[in-house]
Amino acid sequence: MTSLVYTVIHLASLQCSVRPEISPCTCETGKAWNHVELSCEKLESFNSVVDTLANKLNADAKIDLKITHSQLDDLEMRSFTDMNFNLYKLRMQRNGLRSLPEVPFRGLSNVTYLSISDNELDEIPKHALSHMPSLLTLDIGRCNIRAVQQEDLRGIQKVENLILVSNVITRLDRGSFPKSLLILHLARNQLESLNGSLHDLDKLESLFINANNLTTLDDELPDGSKLRLLMAHNNRLERLPANMAGMHNLETVHIHCNKLRSFDRVLRNAVNLSEVLAENNELEYLAQDEFASCSKVETLLMGFNHIRSLNSSLLPILKLNNANFSSNDIEEFSMAELHGLRSLKTLSLSNNRIQRLLPDPRGVQELMLVNLDLDNNRIDSLNGALAGLGNLRMLNLAGNRLEQLQVGDFDGMVRLDILDLTGNQLAKLKPLEMTLLPSLKILKAAYNNITKLEQDFKGMPMLCQANLTNNQISTISSELVTNTRCKNHNVPGKLEINLDDNPIMCDVRLNELCRLMAVQEARIRGRSQCFENDQEVCTVLPMLYKVDLPIMVTSLKLGGREDAKPVMQMLLPQLIKANEDLLPPIISTLGNPLIIGNTLINPVISPMPPPLLLATKPPPLPLPLPLPVEPEVQKNESTTAAPVTTSSTEEPTTTTTSTTTTTPSPTTTTTSTTTEASSQVGPTEVITTTPPTTTTTSTTTPKPNETLPVIVELQEPNPLGTLPLNQTDVDGTQDKGAALVPPAVQDPLQHELEREKERERDLERDLDHEAVAKTEYETVEYIPNLVQPPVGSEALTPPPSKANALEEDSESVHSNSVHAEYPQSLQIPEEPPEE
């Protein structure tokens, strides 16, 4: 056996042993040992083709000759018989031929295949064809043929395959086609009528008449023919011919993109029918026995029509696999329409007018439905009609009017992978909490009215993606993903929750939720007004939220002054109110501050991640009170700080506070307060050389996930009215009154300042390790910068680049002691943002 195969291959290779001699033509062995394929491309004349190939090949070999992209103007000067070989296939494509002379084709009685497509022929070369009586396939496609006349094909009465596709044929003479035809391709022409030219072709099996201008097929198709394939789409047919009812061999019918109003039951006897494409017509009605004998139909596409009801017409199609009735006028759909269709895998009912889904009393457990599309309808309730579809993998309910889900709507869907509820009116997903969907991987519920998520994912242990964008979600329970463990191809992954444009995306409470999600292998993604790009939210939250710390007053030492009680009565309520307003929502509801005597004790606060900007802005008070914590602070670059003036104007009270701080020298606070109220005639200005109140801010480095209040100690005024020790003016000179201060009076203050410097040194070391990025998308209001610009070499220092938003400027040594607790790189820029 091996020797026989070797002999066949050897003989075939001998046929192309003359390859060097036939250049530029090429030679390849064919499928059989004596078949040779010759290809000549871009030759200058037909004479050169003949001279190149003449007497070069064995006369017994069957030659398949292909001549393309050549100049054949001298075609009538030579003959194919001059090559002296057995030609059985001839291809002359893309040569610009306008006509075929008779002489070169004389003696080609053995040719069975001729292709002269892709030329410029304007008529069928009947004289040349008359010399090829054995021709079985003739291809004259993509030329300029205008008509098929009676005499054109008379010389090739054995032809079985005739290809006249993509010409400009407008006329077909009756009796012009040989009765031996099995395949006739007349697609993409300009035919308005077949003129009875096909009526006698009783052997015809495949007919391509698509993409013409035909309006009717009445009395055009052969009666009782063996037609198996009919391609009549993209015409203007208004009905199907009546004699199609007798075409029992039909297997494929493409009649889409016509103007059909009805099938007229012409397909009811097509027992071999397997594929029907009837989309984009004007069908309004389906008879109950429309497909009475069509049990073998596997594909039925009837979208973009005006069908109002299926009328139980699908029940006989037992092998139906794919059905599409999208974009029709169906108003009510019952699952009983699918009863017994155990082979149905895909059903599309999208873009209809379905308002009600009716369950099948006999159940749907026997259905093998895998994909079900019910999107863009008017469904307001599922009524449990889909429960029991155990093989369903994808359910699309997007674009409906569902206001609520009922317990049991998705029962039995143990294989459901994708559930799409996008674009409905759902306010909650709570019924999903009591539904087991063990295989669900993707949940889409965007563009609804969902306000909160509690344990809605409880029955979805395999959930990997949850799209909840464009809802009203403001609350998410920590138990949402307790039972969810994503797996892709049995590989553990993380649940992705997309929350684009939900209120919670700009809520500081998301900080705490992110920690819980990370522990349970889930993460939140999305974009909103607080985020520039789609990214993992929990990685950028600390840069995006300003967390104002509450005020904790540890002591109020006002001595035995008679005005202490009015001051406390007016001060404490406002401090409490400011404290509550500054707390995040998740903290402010935990409890109210406790007042014991003259001490305000802040309630216990749940641990939270370190805030972005630790700033406290209490409301204005009716009495002058120095407040050490400003809304925004600028970094002090010099040893002797310039005066920092912050103005905050509110109705009806205006307070202006100026603070001068020198580090590490003792701190001196000068307060100028202007208070305007309805009960006061003019502003009151208090200028003190000896500060009435010495303010000390205790600074403690917050631990991770811990929020510390700003501790303010308000002490009794200095009765001596003298300046503290080593007080320095703004210009760096020592105040003359400093020498008059007795040392004994300064000892307590000096001791407090030493403690303050020690805390500053500890804080600077900690800030080197805790870098929080500055971002131009901070959710803080703009406060004008009134800090005097630096002078000298410091004025040449460029501002920090926005590109380095993640770099913390922690190199400052001369930081303000009051604000050293806060990362300086997070302050508001000197100029307001453009947007």
Over residues 712-749, the pLDDT tens digits come to 444 444 444 444 444 444 444 444 444 444 444 445 56
Q: Residues 747, 749, 755, 758: is their CA dihedral positive or negative?
A: negative
pLDDT number for residue 645 = 40
Average pLDDT score over residue span 145-170:
95
Domain ranges of the chain: 1-91, 551-570+579-665+689-729+800-835
Alpha carbon 804 to its chain's center: 30
pLDDT number for residue 624 = 44
Residue length of the chain: 835
Over residues 467-481, the pLDDT tens digits come to 999 999 988 988 888
Q: pLDDT higher for 478 or 590?
A: 478
pLDDT confidence band for 538 (50 / 70 / 90): low
Count Cβ neighbours within 10 Å for each residue of 413-443 and write b for 16 or more, e otherwise.
bebbbbbbbbbbebebbbbbbebbbebbbbb
Least confident of 25-39, 345-359, 398-412, 630-644: 630-644
Q: Is the peptide bond before 643 cis (omega within 30 degrees of 0)?
A: no
- State phi, psi for 267 to the nearest 5 degrees: -100, 5
Q: 418 with 442: CB under 8 angstroms?
A: yes
Give the list of residues 6+ apart from residue 597 with CB closer than 8 angstroms, or none: none
pLDDT number for residue 491 = 86
Q: Is the pLDDT of residue 39 over 80?
A: yes
Q: Is the peptide bond before 664 cis (omega within 30 degrees of 0)?
A: yes
Q: Is the pLDDT of residue 40 over 70?
A: yes
pLDDT confidence band for 569 (50 / 70 / 90): low
Q: What type of residue sits at position 637?
A: E
Q: Is 789 exposed, middle or buried (0-12, 13-18, 19+ CB in 10 A)?
A: exposed
pLDDT number for residue 703 = 44
Residue with tokens 């002797």: 640
Distance CA 504, CA 529 (A): 11
> For the chain, what is the mean pLDDT?
74
Average pLDDT score over residue span 34-56:
91
Q: Taking Cα atoms as reference points, which of 103, 102, 107, 147 lies closest to residue 124?
A: 147
Q: Taking Cα atoms as reference points, which of 53, 95, 52, 90 lies closest to residue 72?
A: 95
Q: pLDDT higher for 796 or 527?
A: 527
Q: Is the pLDDT of residue 684 over 50?
A: no
pLDDT confidence band for 515 (50 / 70 / 90): confident
Please state whether beta strands 299-301 and 322-324 pair in parallel, antiparallel, or not at all (unpaired).
parallel
Q: pLDDT higher for 757 or 7?
A: 757
Distance CA 627, CA 629 (A): 6
Distance CA 638, CA 259 (A): 86
Residue 556: both structure tokens together: 């109020």
pLDDT confidence band for 487 (50 / 70 / 90): confident
Q: 636 with 650: CB under 8 angstroms?
A: no
Q: Taking Cα atoms as reference points, which of 320, 323, 310 lies closest to residue 358?
A: 310
Distance CA 137, CA 496 (A): 59
Q: Is the peptide bond before 748 cis (omega within 30 degrees of 0)?
A: no
Task: Give the CA distances from residue 415 to residues 351, 394, 433, 436, in Å, rounded to whole numbers and listed in that order.
Answer: 25, 9, 17, 11
Task: Give the CA distances from residue 440 to residues 408, 426, 463, 599, 793, in Å, rounded to whole numbers and listed in that order.
Answer: 16, 19, 6, 56, 64
pLDDT number for residue 504 = 87
Q: Is the pLDDT of residue 806 over 90?
A: no
Q: 707 with 549: CB under 8 angstroms?
A: yes
pLDDT confidence band for 112 (50 / 70 / 90): very high
Distance CA 388, CA 166 (A): 51
Residue 458: both structure tokens together: 């409880």
pLDDT number for residue 754 = 76
Over residues 256-306, the pLDDT tens digits come to 999 999 999 999 999 999 999 999 999 999 999 999 999 999 999 999 999
pLDDT number for residue 18 = 60
Distance CA 747, CA 753 (A): 10
Q: Taking Cα atoms as reference points, which of 402, 409, 381, 408 lies closest to residue 449?
A: 402
Distance CA 709, CA 724 (A): 28
Least confident of 162-176, 372-386, 564-578, 807-821: 807-821
Q: 594 with 601: CB under 8 angstroms?
A: yes
Whole-structure pTM value: 0.65
Distance CA 145, CA 493 (A): 63
Q: Is the pLDDT of residue 190 over 50?
A: yes
Q: pLDDT higher for 461 or 804?
A: 461
Please count the other Cβ atoms lying within 10 Å of the Cβ belonging to residue 369: 22
Q: Containing H/E element for 762?
A: helix 743-767
